[in-house]
Structure 1
Amino acid sequence: MKSSIYHLFFAVVLGASALSISACNDLLEPTPVQQLPDNRAITDAGSARSATIGVYDRVQTYYQLNWPVLGFLPGENVRFNGTLNQFLQIDQNQLSADNVLVTEAWTQMYQAVNGANNVIAALPELTDPLLPATEKDQLLGEAYFLRALVYFDLGRGWGGVPLVLTPTRTKENGRGLRRSTLAATYDQVLADLTQAETLLPDATTRNRAVKASARALRARLHLYRQQWSAAETYATQLIGSSNYRLVTPYRAISTAPFLSNEAIFELTFSNSDANSMWNNWFPSALGGQFNFQPVPAAIALLNDPTVGGSRSTLLATTTIAGASVTYGNLYSRSAQRDDPSYVLRLAEQYLIRAEARARQGKLSEALADLNAVRSRAGVPASTAATTEQLLLAIENERRVEFAFEADRWFDLVRTGRADDVLGVTDQRRWLFPIPFNDLVADPDLEQNPGY
């Protein structure tokens, strides 16, 4: 899978499309990205396999940089250590509709949707003796899972979004498709996950979707929808499986060859298919740009043996101009450039179930789940006794456990705590803006309020 995420598909001012459309038409009539075509024909076993890998590639593209940044930088663990306005806007929770990273993420995500739509449309009618029925089901299930993942991320980032469920071949396809509600967007995610689970194999593959991947994402979906019993049920399926366990030490989750027993779904890279995320975290003395820097409060938490425990390995230090500098070390393989993108892992399932149980008044069971994660990190057991204490303890645990993953901002938004914790008082700013280019291209597309 290739990962070319650093080009823009649309520039803010008279941007040229990444598609092969004439420059004149680009300038006069831009194409909204949820209508970008994907003309790869799926006609046989080989092209079906390639098209499915292509969908993973598109998901990998938005998970390599833009999506994690939108997940951790608006929170309070990380600051942008530079002057680029597109990052500063995210760091300061002052986004504009022409923000480059937001535009890139939206573009990349709808390209992934369109790739999945092509697979979903073509495979049921495809006949090739070299494509057994079981493999066809698997490829189809993977496409449904990946489309569900993208629409889930779109929903938690932008709220209700246009639901494009068929391939878009030209810029006219889907024009005038209005935004769905967030509830309808999540309903589509659920429908896709339900279909995926019936089609996917019951295997232990960790960098391609299997039944467990669909179940883990469904647990997260139910948590976001405040469907506590369902969230508990689906998380329990993962926790109870002998295929998954919390690994020790904590650093084992991000140590080659990766795909540890804790990993449910990761996006993998290699030296030839490089993940350059490390470059944004490492100081210049180590060959990086040091764009993202852990803030002192997060450093203190991770280094506190009663809070961070073994998760202190998410940090590393070096000396610059005679001074000690601390940097984020989750993406640490700068020479090999094969750090994965972390999407679903078992620690989250424990904390999903802990929160779901606490919300249902199952306090002792919730505390046990919370302490399972704390025990793995080598920190003392929590003594939270009330529902309020437990929920805050779980929130704080998630902050440390997923310190540099695409998690903190979305946690604070879904729980309504972005104001209390971050001081983002304007709740309209809890959603990202629809990119300006799409609004210009499709007048039926409505902007989120406040932008």
Structure 2
Amino acid sequence: MLIITTISCDSFVEVDPPKNSLVTKTVFEDAATVESAMANIFVKMRQQGLVSGNFSISTSLGIYADELDYFGSSPDILKLYSHNVLASDGQVSLWWNHAFNLIYAANDIIEGVAASQTLSEEDKDRFTGQALFVRAYLHSLLLSLFGEVPYIMTTDYIENNRAIRTPEPEVFEKLIGDLNEAVNLLDNNNQANENILPNLQVVYALLARIYLYSGDWAMAETMASNLIGNYGLEDIDKVFLKGSNETIWQLMLGDNPVNTYDALQLIITGIPTQGMALMDDLVGAFEAGDLRYTHWTNSITSDDGQTTLYYAHKYKATHNTTTQSEEYSILFRLAEQYLIRAEARVQLGDISGSQADINVIRNRAGLGNTTANDKASLLDVILHERRLELFTEQGHRWFDLKRMGKAEEVLSPIKAGWRNTDIVLPIPESELELNPNLKPQNAGY
């Protein structure tokens, strides 16, 4: 029996005890059943909502920012593209509800494993560490999207029904607390080189990102260095293959040979398109000779020769032609860690160290060393390199514009509906009606 199959509520604040409590404690008496429950969390993460699936943050936030033009007809996606998002929009509610349902499932595992009388201490540590990571990871995405959010650490339906929004500094505290606890519980096991389950290295990767976002430059540098010493950058043609040496964590696509949602959504196979294409400004931002342009983008021209559209071509498999999937959905990879450390170092005054990390990324892309040699110019270069290295991956571009104070400058000229309050999305209207403790609504909505 899988834990998540017992979670049938529409919202984490609508928890009905008979539906949402475990039918039996026997789930936690055997490591195999807990492992299945954890696996189901990752399946849900892969197929629905924020992390992967149709209109995940990779595509939706690319549309919200300055990566993707949108030609489709989905009302919710059109509102993201034009910056006319409403608190009643389905996309906003989907992200919120999906994330909190999985957080509930992670809390269920944490509590059930702690109470188990039969699991070994080794298994308890492994499952608790993985669930703590999942809880922190999903809360970190919610914080970046919605601003202050409740940090849910229990399955108590009464407490969840009355949850209040947690101030941002306290959310960072809780994130780091969960992740530091996971550090003490997990090891470096990389699951037969597939990197499909959170281990110690994955926790370090998220900690590096969280420390960067919260402005703790020294700890961001330390966490990124932990990873850089244990991984190597991959050949540019192999970065997005499931066996890439650069991958820190990826979501397995299942037993059958299926494809990533990134490939299915982003690769244009004909004009008219399935709805989105790379913005011209992004395509034009690549320097001459940049291998990321020639290897990670592609184009298609209409039969009449009048229209050429560019698309992200990092993931390349759009048809199931083999007996095994060749690409998994990558959530953390080493290149981000170099750029995290580069940014942390320049903030700490280590100009040469920052240059060295930037140059590793540029050189892999076939480019020469950066000429930037002061803090302001290096920060601009880092933002530029993050744009070209991480485009259409996990909403990085939007989160970078937001946290570096560049959203207004970049988006107001190209988004007719832009308002400076758009740096956060609205709390879903349905959640505010069910739990008034979540008020006030974010400014601008």
- Could you state the TM-score of these two structures normalised by the residue count of structure 1? 0.86
Deviating above 6 A after TM superposition, structure 1's stretches of 4 or more consecutive aligned residues are: none
Residue equivalent to 1:238: 227
User: Aligned equivalents of 2:422 and 2:348: distance in 1?
Assistant: 30
Deviations 1:297-348 (A, max 9, x none): 222234x434x32443221233432434432212321113764322111101
User: How far apart are 1:274 and its partner, in Å?
Assistant: 5.2
Q: What code does the residue aligned with 1:109 have?
A: A
Matched, 1:297 2:281: yes
Residue equivalent to 1:114: 104
Counterpart mapping for 1:278-293 below 5 A = 278-285=263-270, 290-293=274-277
* Alpha-carbon distance change, 380 to 136 in structure 1, aligned in 2, over 3 angstroms: same
User: Aligned equivalents of 1:40 and 1:167: distance in 2?
Assistant: 14
Q: What code does the residue aligned with 1:442 have?
A: N
User: Aligned equivalents of 1:193 and 1:329: distance in 2?
Assistant: 33
Residue equivalent to 2:251: 267
User: Aligned equivalents of 2:65 and 2:309: distance in 1?
Assistant: 21
Q: What code does the residue aligned with 2:443 have?
A: P
Decide which of 197, 204, 210 is 1:221's aligned counterpart: 210
> Does structure 1 conserve the Cα–Cα contact (< 8 Å) formed by 2:278 and 2:311?
yes
Greater shift, 328-337 or 192-201, is seen at 328-337
User: How far apart are 1:272 and its partner, in Å?
Assistant: 5.7
Residue equivalent to 1:92: 82
Q: What code does the residue aligned with 1:121 have?
A: E
Counterpart mapping for 1:285-434 below 5 A = 285=270, 290-302=274-286, 304-306=287-289, 308-323=290-305, 324-336=308-320, 339-406=327-394, 407-423=396-412, 426-434=419-427
User: Aligned equivalents of 1:246 and 1:126: distance in 2?
Assistant: 41
> Does structure 2 conserve the Cα–Cα contact (< 8 Å) formed by 1:319 and 1:325?
yes
Other structure's SS at 2:330 match: strand
Matched, 1:127 2:117: yes
User: Aligned equivalents of 1:54 and 1:411: distance in 2?
Assistant: 31
User: Aligned equivalents of 2:106 and 2:147: distance in 1?
Assistant: 21
User: Aligned equivalents of 2:407 and 2:186: distance in 1?
Assistant: 37
* Alpha-carbon distance change, 355 to 102 in structure 1, aligned in 2, over 3 angstroms: same
Greater shift, 369-378 or 50-59, is seen at 50-59
Greater shift, 118-127 or 89-98, is seen at 89-98
Residue equivalent to 2:234: 247
Other structure's SS at 1:343 match: strand
Q: What code does the residue aligned with 2:288 have?
A: P
Residue equivalent to 2:140: 152
Give structure 1 stretches of 5+ with no counterpart.
3-17, 21-29
Other structure's SS at 1:253 match: coil
> Does structure 1 conserve the Cα–Cα contact (< 8 Å) formed by 2:263 and 2:315?
yes
Residue equivalent to 1:81: 71
Deviations 1:50-89 (A, max 9, x none): 2211222233233114222343222212111212221121
User: Aligned equivalents of 1:202 and 1:251: distance in 2?
Assistant: 26
Residue equivalent to 1:448: 442
User: Aligned equivalents of 1:330 and 1:68: distance in 2?
Assistant: 12
Aligned-pair Cα RMSD in Å = 2.4
- Could you state the TM-score of these two structures normalised by the residue count of structure 2? 0.87
